[in-house]
């Protein structure tokens, strides 16, 4: 798979990222057993085999279990660490009540604990997971400096941040932000007024910060017909269009969704979330598809739900 540099001077990432949020099988840690471990290892093996070199984590995934599984996988596969890059996230406190926390202590302590679980020498990119309304940007800058100086984290990024939040943090930390992870998929175009429409993607391009796309299949809702919180007609129309256009490119609906995201000039990198080896392998083929403008817009129009103005 082709690789790209994250941000101005970040690490090399495969164009499709493998997301590890679902590798434990569920967020109920008591359900994790040898059978689930086999499934997790099969998914990770398929991703490595298909050329994904970037693995996405967060401290909270399955209440830290996903990072622990991945750390075990690295220990069981010597030599793999040098061939891949690892992103993880912090900034959500899973307490009662739940809070967002970008304080110095929370960032530094979370990153150190992630590194222990991941057993991987250093974290390539640390993202702040969801905007903390009480953030002090200088504290974030101090935390990044500490983690970089001690070698825990090489680069930094944000997630779910709009233009204003990216600028607030960028002013404090300088050029060290390499990506912003956003919910980007065809069921989030207009009328949702999210990153597709509000200038976020143009701004990231101008700042040379790489957008990465979480839940590229809308958490599976785009792949299914039965459960969906978008108007069914739009979802069904998007699916039918992806299937129809996919026949031209000899690719399935999910692979076409990845190709549609990859075609955007801001350099979106989709994060594949399936745990099914065949799907992980198939979606990697999106790297070889160059969608035409007409085909891209046909999918956009289906998602828009009516003819373009
Ligand atoms: N920054 C954030 O706030 C944030 C939030 C959410 C996620 N993330 C990241 O984004 C990654 C991807 O998110 P996601 O897992 O929600 O991605 P997704 O690709 O939108 O959804 C994956 C789900 O779709 C199902 N699926 C995939 N292809 C299918 C098909 N052809 N037919 C039926 N079902 C299909 C998968 O089932 P199978 O496993 O059975 O194939 C899986 O349950 C996560 O791993 C995480 O790293 C970040």
pLDDT digit string, tens, across residues 129-173: 999 999 999 999 999 999 999 999 999 999 999 999 999 999 999
Which is nearest to 26 in space by CA: 280, 221, 275? 275
Does residue 294 lie within any of the structural domains? no
Let me know if residue 236 belongs to a domain.
Answer: no
Instruction: Please tell me which residue in 61, 73, 249, 304 is annotated as part of the active site.
Output: 61
Report the pLDDT averaged over residues 240-263.
97
User: 277 CB less than 6 Å from ligand 1?
Assistant: no
What is the rounded CA–CA span in Å between residue 157 and residue 195?
Answer: 16
Identify the residue with better confidence: 227 or 142.
142
Whether the pLDDT of residue 231 is over 70: the answer is: no
**Which atom of ligand 1 lies nearest, measured to the CA of 221?**
24
pLDDT for the residue 61: 98
Would residue 110 count as lying in a domain? yes
**Tell me: the pLDDT tens digits for 3-37?**
999 999 999 999 999 999 999 999 999 999 999 99
CA–CA distance, 205 with 12 (Å, rounded to integer):
17
Q: 39 C-alpha vs ligand 1 centroid, how far in Å?
A: 15
Q: Is the dihedral of CA 27, 32, 35, 40 positive or negative?
A: positive
How far apart are the CA of 105 and the centre of ligand 1, in A? 31
Mean pLDDT, the chain, as a whole number? 95
61 counts as catalytic: yes
Give the pLDDT score at 95.
85
Residue 309 lies in a domain: no
Q: Which residue has the higher pLDDT, 194 or 76?
A: 76
Q: Strand (E) positions, the chain? A: 3-5, 12-14, 17-19, 54-56, 85-90, 92-93, 99-100, 123-128, 153-159, 177-183, 210-214, 269-272
- H helices then E strands: how many in the chain? 10, 12
Centroid of chain to Cα 205: 17
Rounded to two decimals, the pTM is: 0.97
Q: Is residue 238 part of a domain?
A: no
Asked if residue 230 is part of any domain, the answer here is no
CATH number of the domain bearing residue 71? 3.20.20.100
The answer as to whether 204 is a domain residue is yes
Q: Is 243 a domain residue?
A: no
Query: Is the shortest distance between the CB of 269 and ligand 1 below 6 Å?
Result: no
Q: How many domains does the chain have?
A: 1
Q: Tokens representing 202? A: 């143009």
pLDDT bracket for residue 227 (50, 70, 90):
low
Q: Which atom of ligand 1 is nearest to the CA of 21?
A: 45
Query: How much is the pLDDT for 175?
Result: 82
Cβ of 279 closer than 6 Å to ligand 1, yes or no, is yes
- Domain housing 217: 3-224+252-288
Q: Report which of 190, 131, 185 is spatially closest to residue 162, judged by C-alpha positions.
A: 131
Q: Which residue has the higher pLDDT, 222 or 261?
A: 261
The pLDDT confidence band at residue 306, using thresholds 50, 70 and 90, is confident
Residue whose CA is at the smallest distance from ligand 1 atom 36: 274
Locate the DSSP E strands across 184-247. Answer: 210-214
**177 in contact with ligand 1, CB cutoff 6 A:** no
């Amino acid at each position: 798979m082709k690789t790209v540099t994250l941000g101005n001077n970040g690490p090399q990432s495969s164009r499709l990222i493998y997301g590890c949020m679902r590798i434990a099988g569920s967020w109920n840690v008591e359900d994790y057993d040898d059978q689930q471990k086999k499934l997790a290892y099969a998914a990770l093996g398929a991703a490595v085999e298909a050329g994904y070199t970037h693995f996405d984590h967060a401290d909270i995934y399955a209440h830290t279990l996903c990072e622990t599984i991945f750390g075990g996988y690295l220990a069981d596969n010597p030599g793999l660490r040098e061939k891949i890059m690892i992103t993880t996230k912090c900034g959500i406190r899973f307490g009662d009540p739940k809070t967002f926390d970008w304080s110095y202590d929370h960032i530094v302590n979370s990153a150190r604990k992630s590194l222990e679980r991941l057993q991987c020498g250093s974290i390539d990119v640390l993202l702040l997971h969801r905007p903390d309304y009480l953030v002090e940007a200088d504290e974030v800058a101090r935390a990044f400096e500490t983690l970089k100086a001690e070698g825990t984290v090489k680069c930094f990024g944000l997630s779910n941040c709009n233009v204003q939040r990216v600028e607030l943090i960028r002013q404090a930390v300088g050029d060290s932000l390499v990506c912003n992870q956003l919910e980007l998929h065809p069921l989030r175009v207009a009328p949702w007024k999210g990153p597709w429409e509000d200038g976020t993607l143009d701004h990231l391009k101008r700042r040379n910060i790489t957008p990465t796309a979480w839940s590229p299949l809308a958490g599976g809702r785009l792949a299914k017909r039965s459960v969906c919180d978008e108007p069914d007609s739009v979802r069904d129309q998007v699916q039918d269009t992806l299937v129809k256009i996919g026949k031209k490119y000899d690719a399935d609906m999910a692979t076409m969704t990845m190709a549609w995201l990859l075609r955007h000039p801001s350099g979106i990198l989709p994060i594949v979330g399936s745990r099914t080896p065949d799907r992980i392998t198939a979606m990697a083929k999106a790297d070889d598809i160059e969608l035409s403008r007409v085909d891209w817009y046909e999918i956009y129009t289906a998602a828009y739900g009516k003819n373009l103005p």
